[in-house]
Amino acid sequence: MRTVTLEISTRGKINSRFLRALEGKPQGAFISFESPALLFRALSGKRWELLKAMAGGGPMTIREAARRLGRDVKAVHGDVHALLKAGILQKTENNRIVFPFDAVHVDFLLKAA
């Protein structure tokens, strides 16, 4: 199973992981956000549903994603573009969209100020 971790992280931690990867040390799949607000802006409830419908499904058209969700193509189109901009979805060479993971792990800690 291929899992991606969505996390809240500092630029320093992201840079450190990048440097370790350049040294050939496996880092796993991460998509990092600088704040919880940015994570939650990128991943609304409908977008979570979209990821769930696409997980492990391979490349597909936006119309196919909308059909799987039972949603309007135009609304799904907007969600797809937001997820592409956030780096969560990818576009293939033949203009299909893909979420290349089977599972999502969300990792962040909320603590007292």
Q: What's the Cα-to-Cα distance from 30 to each of 8, 33, 34, 67, 75, rounded to whole Å?
A: 10, 10, 13, 28, 27
In angstroms, the CA 39 to CA 110 distance is 13
| pLDDT tier, 20 (very low <50, low <70, confident <90, very high otherwise) | confident
Yes or no: say if 42 and 33 are a contact pair by the CB < 8 Å rule.
Answer: yes
Instruction: Tell me the pLDDT of the chain averaged across its residues.
Output: 89
Paired tokens of 26:
């496996």
Residue 109 CB partners (closer than 8 Å, separation 6+): none
Query: Residue 67: its pLDDT value, please?
Result: 96
- Residue 7 has what pLDDT? 87
Specify the CATH number of the domain 3-107: 1.10.10.10
Residue 80 pLDDT > 80 = yes
User: E strands, 1-113, where?
Assistant: 3-8, 29-33, 90-91, 97-98, 103-107
- How does pLDDT run across 27-76, given as a tens digit for each residue? 678 888 888 888 889 999 999 999 999 999 999 999 999 999 999 999 99
Q: pLDDT higher for 68 or 7?
A: 68
- Domain residue spans of the chain: 3-107
